[in-house]
Amino acid sequence: MSYNDTFIKACKKQEVDTLPVWYMRQAGRYDPAYRKIKEKYSLLEICQQPELAAEVTLLPVHKVGVDAAILYSDIMNPVASIGIDFDIVKNIGPVIHNPIKSSADVERLRPIQVEKDLSHIIKTIEILVGELQVPLITFAGAPFTIASYLIEGKPSKSYIRTKELMYNEPAVWFKLMDKLGDMVITYLKAHIAAGAKAVQLFDSWVGALSPKDFQYYVLPTITRIFAELKHLEQPKVYFPGVSSGELLPHLQQVAADVIGLDWRVSIAEGRQRLGSRFAVQGNMDPYILTAPMSVIKEQAKVIIDQGIKEPGYIFNFGHGLFPEASIDKLHELTEFVHSYSTAAIAASKQGSGV
């Protein structure tokens, strides 16, 4: 089996014959095999076992036929190395036992030590690079999203404590952003050194900010992270999370290669807001998988037709897969995207005389 580099080509806005497909949270609870593993081990326990984490990472590649694997991990993993004590609690998410409440709490955060504290993550990457015939994407949580957990102490809908610190103690906020930015840069560089073929920065909750606040309180750190990674050839993806359409115009100077879009903005509109600078990824609503296949395919057609109008498009959802999703529908959707996009791209080339 030859190596499938369609995802990498799309990230670099190169010509492809078929659209690449992968899904956020594709190694997850919708898969019965994964649910069986979770009966024995917690998320963090799986991450601590490189062979098992690699096995879970590979499941959707074999079962769904996606064109990229994404490392089975969690955005919270690196914060253990900087001095944060946390658990992933079922039906809640990250719960922080020593949340950040003051300047002193930020000061005590230490630099990340990947080799000492996160060697299991690196080992998982190395195993996967040796086994995969598609690119491996690894990832980190972006500073705002990580900060929201560290400050709130658990997932939040209002982010009141996070914004309270941001507005009332900006010096402390920026110190925290600097430390988390350093953590992300070191962590992702270690991933790439271990063989990762692309990296993604997940900023799942930054859409909670106004464009003005994003631009002032968060964007400088995002810009610095990608500037530090710019010299590395591996594609860099920034996903500004849900409800982030209004933030897109502010990303035009970020040195990423790909921007992930949620389903609240069309591919065409997203490209326009981004100044057509980037490849784009997304943006089907994952809950479309509750619909009949005929409806799923009609919506996919609309997205694909917009996606292929310019080079640089990767089919994905606008956020992560949900536990009740049908693995059979997911497999059928992947096959449909491949077949429909292949025909559409070929017709487009023929129509343009290429």
Cis check: omega of the bond before 283, within 30 degrees of 0: yes
Decide if 317 contacts 343 (C-beta within 8 A). no
Locate 322 and state its tokens: 């949900």
> Which of 235, 193, 293, 185 has its CA nearest to residue 12?
235
Whole-Å CA distances, 73 to 44, 140, 172, 292: 8, 9, 29, 31
* Residue whose pair of structure tokens reads 């999370």 in the numeric block: 241
- CA-wise closest residue to 143 among 107, 184, 115, 103: 184
Q: What angle do CA 177, 180, 186 make, to 5 degrees?
A: 135
Binding residues: 25-29, 74, 149, 204, 319
Which residues define the annotated binding site for substrate? Answer: 25-29, 74, 149, 204, 319
Question: CA quadruple 139, 33, 329, 243: dihedral positive or negative?
Answer: negative
CB-CB contact of 138 with 202 (8 Å):
no
Q: How far is CA 306 from the centre of its chain?
A: 22
Of 76, 70, 63, 72, give the one whose Cα is nearest residue 38: 72
